[in-house]
Structure 1
Amino acid sequence: MITMMKRKRGRGENEKDAKKQKLLNELGQSQLPYLTPKDDGFHQLWKTKYSKLVLRNAERIPHDVHREVQEAFGLLQKHACLFQDLVRIKGKDFVTPVSRILIGNPGYTYKYLNTRLFTVPWPVEGYEINYSHPEISKACEALIKLNEHLRRETVLALQEQNLSETKGTEDSVVTEKLQEEAAPVTESGCASPDQSAVHVPKNDCADLKERTSYNLTLLNYMDPQRMPFLKQEPYFGMGKMAVSWHHDENLVERSTVAVYSSCREDDMNMTHQHCVLAGHQPRFSSTHRVAECSQGTLPYILGRCNAALENLHGDAALGCLALKSLDIGTIKGVEEIHNETSHLLCELRKEGQVEEQRKERIECLLPLLEERHELRQEWFVRCHSLLALSLPEEEKPRCHPYWQMGDPHLPLPFNLEDIIIELRKILEGQTKYARPQLTPASLE
């Protein structure tokens, strides 16, 4: 199941689109030149413009890890665990040509193209995880082994780069020696100082850990023979694309991305875009990421719900729940947490309030309700689009929570338009605007 989170297009994104279109107009029928490893100047360009891109040969991956990961890909495909996602690009819905599954820390999520994915958890100490089939458990276990290997490789790569920059040299002999002799990385994210030739200052340890602590992997499967409607790469004429030019989203700033047997420092993600060419053969990829999950985990959501409930207390006189505080900071914080509540509206409808305070509270609440209304309507439209309805039943997005008008068990209607109009009219001084009175109810 997939759910959507709103991501407004900023001025920067619109400017990028305008620049892309300008470039395409200037190119016309011509194409930009590009280099491959066979061309003169390729490695010099890599060294000067893509120095944060680090490649490692597959032979560096332990044989048992490599074998188990290859088997894991087959098992996930066997059990139909990979799905095409319904995504939104520039206001239009698309089904991705690439099939995906997100595997990672329990309760973690990853958001891209207005779509939020939830992890199938890999085995983590302290969590009891029940898989629908033992082979899926086996696949997840293989991927967390790969994740740990790539984390160690990434730390080593960053240490080598730091050493090279510190000495002001790129001595290949030293680099090779470091690759051979580097000690295993400790859980703190830094090599043990008495075992490794690479010494990392203490204040760099936390930075290394933050940038390399992969908490999930987005697995992709593509079969070019089953993707007939792919776009051609527009700038260089490199053939069909499985994934168009883009920046990766929802990552911790300056964190690394490891793609199966390679490490890619994500400073590049800020300054460079990348695409995935379709090629000719079916293939998998496992892209390990440090997803920005400060607000995207189940424990966070539960914690915020508890914080909202702390502003409630039972009113014995009224025989119902009431709010402890109408402070502006509390209103804003609670309404950002709530999916729904009618208690605040009941307070704002009461007569005899200090008008200035009432106005201030409505001005705080109104934009939050407007945003909530916009998100609901957009998601409702997506769930009922022809594209969404054409998906298999188990892959359709769910319009949830959703309820009909007049449901007595829920505090507010699904459509918030009337409430928004009422609050606007109160601000305009039309406090006698008629509408059905809502009775305080328990939180959803």
Structure 2
Amino acid sequence: MQETLWQRVKEGLEWFDGAIGEGEEEEEAGRIAGNKGGGRRRGFEQALERYYPKFRVIHRDLLPSALEPSTRRALEVLKDQMGWFRRDYVWVKGKVTQTMVTRLLVGERGCTYKYKGLRLFCRSWETEAAKVPDSACHALAEIRRLNEVLKEKSRKQHECFMARGEGSGEGAVEGGVNSFNATLINYFDESIANHVETRPEPYYGMGRCCISWHADDGVVEQSAIAVYNVIERAEKGEEEELGEVWKVGLKVKWEVDTPGVAVPMVNGDAYVMLSGFNEKNQHCVVCGRGSRFSSTHRVCPQEDMYHNFYCRCRETFLQLHFPWNARGVLQEGEERRACLSKIVASLDALEDLHDQLEFEWLRQFHFQYFDLPPSELDDYWVEVIHVLADLWQRMEIVVWIWISCCRRKSFMVGGKELRDRLERLRQLTSQQKGQGQEVQSSLPFLMKKLLRSEGAGGGREAAGEKAIPEDALELVKATLARRLQKRQEHRIWWEENFRKRLSMGRGGEQREGGKRKRKEGRADGLGFSLLPANLNSLVSTLK
């Protein structure tokens, strides 16, 4: 396939360009593109409808007349007054790099979006309790209104497509394929175009791309995606000339026989990629004249919502099997095997969430925002991170309890030793600054369960301990050793990438010697301790 693809590229792939004219202009466009296939205007609409029927353009005349100016003002407030747009860090081919465009994620409270190994934490458009200036509240409310408009327009486009009988069996998404709960707003600044490397589109010669060929990931499968364009002209009133129009390129995934299409984008227009388009096709963005905002509205998975993740953690804790409650392993027959299975399953479930909490939430947030001053951090997410850091500490205690039992080869853990551990956790949590009511109310449920459990805090002496059977001990030790070894490798990987991130500085520039002064053991501006990277000593005790 790869050999065939590049052979076809060399010969010139067929594509249709909706932004060029016919005759001499068509010939000139092919010459500028530097591709033998050239771009052809004639038949553009037919090609778009035939090959990409799930890509629907919504002209600005079909949208509310006040939508463009109100959205433009809102975006300018968020970018210029609030300074919330920033270049995010991503992993591309194993390297830490920054996005070419600056971006901002806005959506429902607690929503996150996972992209290229990166988790973005959204600014909530639910402004009732937001601690931001009134101008920012109004701007976020405008983005929410834009989302509602695009929801409705996307729903109608979806219904029209389904009415044609071409989409049966698609769009089975909870809440609807157009239930957008977040928008990723990209901003490409024309003034930096000469200072960054934009690569030419490699297959058709459509022009230089600021966003290369891709399909959006991190969204609910079979959901729709809607995009609204706000384009700032360098000189107002200037006519768009050949080769200066912003375009969206379309192609089929892993296929060269279907012609490509370049769809021109006009200020105030929107387009919708209906259910199923993202799974079968790719798109790119070809640079044009002027700076451009693109508000890309999408359906983020419910598992990426903070509240749902926290509820999963809490439920797992409530169903946790502690060593001193595992008396069934001393029995014989089916009850013994069932109890062993529950112990390992309970431990594995907790460790799955333990890893997600550390590597998908805490370290992700720290990696992105550690160098921001507190005034630039979202107060809501700072409180959430405090809650999650507290939860992470409890999970570490549970791991310590199991390791301690394996060392002693007993189901019992010394009451005083456990109480000391829990007291240190309580003191740590009470000393955290800026924590919300949720932190205060969520702490007791684990501590009470631990302290009231049989053998945990009742002051029983070692004489009352029950030895762990050898097969159960080996099973638990093997499970712990496997999980801790994997976590150690993952932590080392994160630390290496964090050092690379540290050397890039806040704006992406290389710092001299790759060094930056910061208080050891603290995440600048976040208010929680950095997580330990070394588990070798714990792993060695289980071998």
TM-score (norm 1): 0.70
Quick one: structure 1 residues 420 and 44, their matched pair in 2 at CA, closer, same or farther if it must change by over 3 Å? farther
Q: Distance in 2 between matches of 1:205 and 1:282?
A: 34
Whether the 8 Å contact between 2:323 and 2:405 is mirrored in structure 1 is no
Q: Distance in 1 between matches of 2:493 and 2:316?
A: 25
Q: Distance in 2 between matches of 1:367 and 1:238?
A: 50
Q: 1:212 aligns with which of 178, 181, 202?
A: 178
- Cross-structure match for 1:273: 282
* Equivalences for residues 201-280 of structure 1 within 5 A: 207=173, 209-227=175-193, 228-260=196-228, 261-280=270-289
* Equivalences for residues 419-438 of structure 1 within 5 A: 419-423=538-542, 425=543
Residue 355 (str. 1) matches residue 470 (str. 2): yes
Instruction: Quote how far apart the aligned CAs of 1:309 are.
Output: 3.7
Q: How many residues align?
A: 352
Q: Distance in 2 between matches of 1:154 and 1:366?
A: 50
State the AA in 1 paired with 2:534: N
Q: 1:62 aligns with which of 36, 61, 64?
A: 64
Residue 299 (str. 1) matches residue 307 (str. 2): yes
Q: Distance in 2 between matches of 1:401 and 1:160?
A: 59
Instruction: Quote how far apart the aligned CAs of 1:133 are.
Output: 1.7
Residue 111 (str. 1) matches residue 107 (str. 2): no
Instruction: Quote how far apart the aligned CAs of 1:308 are.
Output: 4.4
* Equivalences for residues 326-405 of structure 1 within 5 A: 327-338=343-354, 339=392, 340=396, 341-351=399-409, 352-385=467-500, 388-392=503-507
State the AA in 2 paired with 1:242: C
Quick one: structure 1 residues 413 and 223, their matched pair in 2 at CA, closer, same or farther if it must change by over 3 Å? closer
Unaligned ranges ≥5, structure 1? 1-18, 169-200, 314-320, 404-409, 426-444
Q: Distance in 2 between matches of 1:30 and 1:262?
A: 31
TM-score (norm 2): 0.58
Quick one: structure 1 residues 258 and 226, their matched pair in 2 at CA, closer, same or farther if it must change by over 3 Å? same
State the AA in 2 paired with 1:137: C
Instruction: Quote how far apart the aligned CAs of 1:135 are.
Output: 1.4
> Percent identity at matched positions?
27
User: What per-residue deviation string (whole Å, max 9, x for no partner) do you get for residues 212-265 of structure 1?
Assistant: 110000000002430322222222222221112112111111000000122111
Instruction: Quote how far apart the aligned CAs of 1:31 are.
Output: 4.6
SS at match of 2:307: helix
Unaligned ranges ≥5, structure 2? 22-40, 229-269, 327-341, 355-391, 410-466, 523-528
Instruction: Quote how far apart the aligned CAs of 1:274 are.
Output: 1.3
Instruction: Quote how far apart the aligned CAs of 1:42 are.
Output: 2.5
Quick one: structure 1 residues 305 and 392, their matched pair in 2 at CA, closer, same or farther if it must change by over 3 Å? same
Q: Distance in 2 between matches of 1:387 and 1:344?
A: 35
Q: Distance in 2 between matches of 1:328 and 1:149?
A: 49
Q: 1:310 aligns with which of 314, 318, 321?
A: 318
User: What per-residue deviation string (whole Å, max 9, x for no partner) do you get for residues 147-181 of structure 1?
Assistant: 01111111111111111117x9xxxxxxxxxxxxx
Instruction: Quote how far apart the aligned CAs of 1:68 are.
Output: 1.3
Instruction: Quote how far apart the aligned CAs of 1:26 are.
Output: 3.7
State the AA in 2 paired with 1:163: A
SS at match of 2:221: coil
Q: Which has the higher helix share?
A: 2
Whether the 8 Å contact between 1:312 and 1:323 is mirrored in structure 2 is no
SS at match of 1:210: coil
Q: Once superposed, what is the RMSD of the aligned Cα atoms?
A: 3.5
Point out 4+ residue stretches in structure 1 off by more than 4 angstroms: 22-25, 27-31, 203-208, 321-326, 399-403
Whether the 8 Å contact between 1:230 and 1:240 is mirrored in structure 2 is yes
Instruction: Quote how far apart the aligned CAs of 1:114 are.
Output: 0.7
- Cross-structure match for 2:15: 34
Q: Distance in 1 between matches of 2:9 and 2:223?
A: 37
Q: Distance in 1 between matches of 2:519 and 2:140?
A: 29
Quick one: structure 1 residues 95 and 206, their matched pair in 2 at CA, closer, same or farther if it must change by over 3 Å? closer
Quick one: structure 1 residues 293 and 312, their matched pair in 2 at CA, closer, same or farther if it must change by over 3 Å? closer
- Cross-structure match for 1:149: 149
Whether the 8 Å contact between 2:220 and 2:300 is mirrored in structure 1 is yes
